Structures are given as C-alpha cells and as structure tokens.
Amino acid sequence: MTEVISPARPRRNIELVLLLAALAIALGADLLGMIGTDAPLDSTAWVPLGIFGAATLVLHVVLRLRAPYADPFMLPITALLNGLGLAMIHRLSQDAAMANPTSQLVWSVLAVLVASALVFLVRDHRVLRRWPYLFLAASGVLLLLPLVPGLGLSMYGARIWIDVGFGTFQPGEIAKITLAIFFAGYLSANRDLILLAGRRVGPVTFPRARDLGPLLAGWLLALGVLVFQRDLGSALLFFGMFMAMLYIATSRASWILLGLGLIAFGAALAFLFMPHVTARFEIWLRAFDPEIYHRDFGGSYQVVQGLFAMASGGLMGTGLGAGNPTQVPLSFSDMILTAIGEELGFVGLAAVLVLYFLLVTRMMRAALGVRDAFGKVLASGLAFTMAWQVFVVMGGVTLVLPLTGLTTPFLAAGGSSLLANWIIVGLVLRISNAARRPAVVDGMVNASGPGAGHLDPGTALPAAAVPPGGGEER
C-alpha cells in the first residue's frame, strides 16, 4: 500500500481569495482614476476590469484542474500588476489620445487565455527540452521578421515591430522566451562538458576557449539586435538573460567576469560607431544640458519631465486623476512608472516594485524546488529576465541607466509585452506545480522537502519516473 507522509496542500482556495482581493484593488484604482478626471461613472464602469477578472478566473480554474500544486501567489500578484496597468492606462486615456485602454484590455484577456491554454496543454515542462534547436530556429525567424521589407516597421528610431493588419507586434518579446527554452535545453544537456575543464587563475576557474561558444553567441546576437534593429533595450535584455542562465547552470563566477568584459567592449563599440546609442549615453550623462534637452529628436526632454513628475508626486502622490502625467511623452508606455510615481507617490511606486520583487522571488522558489536541471535553468532564467527588465526600466526613468525603451511588464501599454510576460508566468506556474507536487518514492508519497527521495537536482529524472514534485508547503 502507498503510505502518505505529510501530503502537500494545493492551496488553491488561498489563491482564489488573493485573486479576488487583487481584482478589487484594481477596480478601486480604476474608479478612483475616473473620479479624479471627472469621467462619467455609470453602472458599466466595472465592466472592463470585470472582463479581465473573468479571464484570470479561467486561469485559476485551469490551475485547479491541471496544476493544483502550482504556486498560489504568482497569479494574484500578476493579476494585480496587470489590473493596475489597465486602471492607469484608462486614467491616462482621459488626457492622452494615444493611450488606448480598449486595446490594452483585449491584449490582457488574450494573454491570460493563452497562458491558460499553455498550462492546460503542457502537462510536463520537460517535454520542451526535446526540441532545443527548433526553438533556436524559431528565435532566429522571430528576430529577423522586423527586417523583412514590407512587414517590418520603424518607429521611435528602432525597427522591432511588424505589421499584423490590425496593429503592430514585437516578435522579440516572444523570442526572449524561445531563446530561454533553447538555452535551458542546451545548458542542461551540456553542463558536464562545460564544467569538465578550465584554467584556474587565482580563486576563479575560467572555461576553455571551446566552451565559450554559448556566451559569444549570446553576445553576437545582442550586438546584432543593437546594430540592425537599433534596439538597445532588447540587446541588454538578451545578453543579460544568457549570462545569468550560464551562471545558474555552471555556478562559475568566471562567466560573469567574461560577460561583463564583453558588455564593456560592446558598449564601447556602440558608443563610438552607433549614433543612436551615442545619443542615449549623452542623455544619460548630460540630461540637464540645454543643448541636449532642446533637441528636436533624441533629446532628454522625456526623461527630465519624468523626473519632475516623480518629484511632484512626493511621498504620497497627487492622487489618481489629480496629476499631470501626460506632460511626459509616452507616459502610458515607456514612462508609465513616472505616472505612477506622480499620482501614487513614492509609497505607491515602492509598492509596485515590491509586487515585482514578490513575483520574482516566487518564480525563483519554483526554480529551487524543481528537480530537473532543465526546469531549474528555465525558471530561474525567466525570473531573472523579469527582474532585469524591471531594473533596466526603473534605472532608465531615474537616470541610473541609459533610457532603453523596454516596457514595464504588465503595466505599460503593449500587446506583445503582455502576451510574452503572461506566457512566462504560465511556464513558471507549470514548473512550480512540478516543484511542489508530492512524489511517489518507494511506495510512499513523500512531501518532506524539495528533493526528498529524488536524484540530484542537477540531473534529469528517468523517463519511467513519476513527474517531479515537491511537497514542501510554500
């Protein structure tokens, strides 16, 4: 007979309560924004957030049916961030014609439903590692699409969009996921070869030249995006993701040192030979210089106005609808954090950053708990990508880093960004279900901790083994 020892609890009821609370907060923010801008309130004011809430409840039901042991906190946190983004864009649409809350709502619902389909159809995340080079080929196609004449579009100085008939789409957002899957599959399959030999210099062991291929490939890909698509943000995102996944897979600090060296070399080349990158660095270093501030194109007006907006918000903010965030160009997309800082103040902006911190830590918890190397590298790589993107965006609007044009996950306007980030959440939810699910070992259901009764976390389970679990309550 199978003996049960401290079985893990699915905790889906906790998820439901937190999800309803998150939706209520988002609806309250939307209503406050309407009141603050004197927008008419009627019985249909709750409908947009209600539609989005219904979509998130569909994902909750799918998790109950297909992934009952998935992390119970990721969905509510993500829904709250997305809901706040919908509320803020709705508020900004009262003053800025370019802000389109209807489009953002449609993309949000579509993204949640795609994540639901992913969780429902992919029963075991390990099936994705069977076709690493297929995902690599898909990544190449996605990154080349914006360069196709008649299909690709150039906007704001970058060529990263394609025309899909009813709007625009950024294939690079999906490419970051397919590249992460390829890299996780490659590293989990070749980890022993990469670690086999190297030259030791003091306390640091450097890899052999023949093992530098993945890092150099990531660097060349990022440089190619920078040169041909003129997109500094995506270049930073891709290379940062590659470097982090290499370190996670190998635990060698030498990869970080080599990666930083390649970043410095690439930045120097870009600064010297790429005018659009030079302009970004000038804005970063001399934002308050009158000559740069008053440039017709490529000036620092946007970032300086964003700083003034956040300063005017002070500690508690002006209140939703009571500020002037539309004085900042693209306040509904690239600069949405400045709009939040102005109307919700330092406290509100800090709360949003805490939500991102909690989301990333839950994603990392799933990576730590799963037993197979592929799942560990993939989940941690996707978690780092989310954290790195928020850091780069926040650094850009506060002049800690050059402004890159990356979107703030779940908050900023942009359908491709919403779709990609909800797919990331769906993938990590599937991995977290494997990490927390009780595993049958020697005729017993073992739930005593992440890795109990299993092989070393760096190895893959045999094909006949029960899918990985992890009964420890988190």
> Which of 187-201, 328-342, 381-395, 439-453 shows the lowest mean pLDDT across its residues?
439-453
For residue 145, give Cα distances in angstroms to 71, 151, 173, 174, 337.
35, 7, 12, 12, 30
Over the stretch 288-338, which tens digit does the pLDDT of each residue have?
Answer: 999 999 887 778 999 999 999 999 999 999 999 888 998 998 899 889 999
Show Cβ contacts of residue 129 under 8 Å, excluding neighbours closer than 6 positions.
181, 184, 185, 188, 189, 374
- Rounded CA separation 14/33 (Å): 29
At 236 the pLDDT is 82
Tokens linked to 163: 């025309």
Tokens 């994603």 correspond to: 363
**Which value, to the nearest 10 degrees, does the dihedral of the CA atoms of residues 392, 394, 396, 398 take?**
-150
* Average pLDDT over the chain, rounded to an integer: 83
Q: Which residues of 424-449 are buried (b: 16+ CB within 10 A; e: fewer)?
A: bbbbbbbbbbbbbbbbeeeebbbbee
- Rounded CA separation 180/167 (Å): 27
Show Cβ contacts of residue 144 under 8 Å, excluding neighbours closer than 6 positions.
none
At 438 the pLDDT is 84
Average pLDDT value for residue range 244-252: 81
At 354 the pLDDT is 97
At 448 the pLDDT is 37
Q: Are 41 and 31 in contact (CB under 8 A)?
A: yes
Looking at the DSSP bridge assignments, the partners of residue 169 are 162
Over the stretch 16-64, which tens digit does the pLDDT of each residue have?
Answer: 999 999 999 999 999 999 998 888 888 788 899 999 999 999 999 999 9
Q: Are 360 and 387 in contact (CB under 8 A)?
A: yes
- Rounded CA separation 294/291 (Å): 6
Which of 430, 409, 420 is CA-nearest to residue 114?
Answer: 420
Over the stretch 203-224, which tens digit does the pLDDT of each residue have?
Answer: 566 666 666 666 677 667 777 7
Band of pLDDT at residue 410, cut at 50, 70 and 90: very high
Band of pLDDT at residue 3, cut at 50, 70 and 90: very low
Q: Reply yes or no on whether the pLDDT at 458 is more than 60.
A: no
Q: Reply yes or no on whether the pLDDT at 184 is more than 60.
A: yes
Tokens 């590659």 correspond to: 242
Q: Reply yes or no on whether the pLDDT at 177 is more than 70.
A: yes
- Rounded CA separation 308/314 (Å): 10
Angle among Cα 409, 412, 416 to the nearest 5 degrees reads 70
Band of pLDDT at residue 87, cut at 50, 70 and 90: very high
- Rounded CA separation 39/41 (Å): 6
Note the pTM of the prediction, 2 decimals.
0.87
At 217 the pLDDT is 72
At 279 the pLDDT is 84
